[in-house]
Amino acid sequence: MAGSVNKVILVGNLGADPEIRRLNSGDPVVNIRVATSESWRDKNSGERKEKTEWHNVVIFNDNLAKVAEQYLKKGMKVYVEGQLQTRKWQDQTGQDRYTTEVVLQKFRGELQMLDARGQGGEGGQVGYSGGGRGSDFGQSSPNEGYSRGGGNRGGGGGASRELDDEIPF
């Protein structure tokens, strides 16, 4: 194999509202905590068990930071795609500490709101991606760069009319 892959995908609930800070350059940095849970039935007792893991997520992507700041609230279910990174820092006593985080860099990563819990029960899905096209998110029209679920997901109608028959490959 010619390389390696560092990709993390999480689907879970926010444990708190996003924490927004600014770097000296003015760029936003958003910290969120995502809880993922697994449950199983104990073979011996038949009792249902559950284990929750908490994941620190750091967003350096300007567009995703704006979305997180405006729309994310505690309890919402989110899809997060980023890279796992461990950073070293020193506590107040000068001891070295290590923190492992899921990081969404400037032009990489993805964040999707999977439900609108706490938003009047609208439901649906809104997704935002930070990859690929640079920082042109939201420049052309308010509907470009994200999609609201529930539209043409079922029968295959609608979307086929938009396909170009003259694909160059």
The per-residue pLDDT for range 46-88, each reduced to its tens digit, is 999 999 999 999 999 999 999 999 999 999 999 999 999 999 9
- Domain for residue 96, yes or no? yes
Contact between 54 and 34 (Cβ < 8 Å): yes
Q: Is residue 88 part of a domain?
A: yes
> How many structural domains comprise the chain?
1
Dihedral class, residue 46 (left if φ above 0, else alpha if ψ from -120 to 50, else beta): left
DSSP state of 18: P
How many percent of the chain have pLDDT more than 70?
Answer: 67
Q: Name the CA radius of gyration of the chain, rounded.
A: 19
Structural domain includes residue 139: yes
Q: What is the CATH number of the domain that holds 124?
A: 2.40.50.140
pTM of the model: 0.67
Spatial CB neighbours of 32, under 8 Å, sequence gap ≥ 6: 14, 16, 18, 19, 57, 59, 68, 72, 78, 80
159 falls within a domain: no
**Predicted pLDDT at 152:** 38
Please indicate whether residue 161 or residue 138 has the higher confidence score (pLDDT).
Answer: 161
Mean pLDDT (the chain) is 78
Angle in degrees, CA 43, 47, 50, rounded to 5: 100
CA distances to 7, 8, 122, 163 from 166, rounded to whole Å, are 34, 36, 38, 9
In tens, the pLDDT along 6-39 reads 999 999 999 999 999 999 999 999 999 999 999 9
Residue with the bigger pLDDT between 47 and 136: it is 47
Domain that holds residue 78: 8-38+50-149
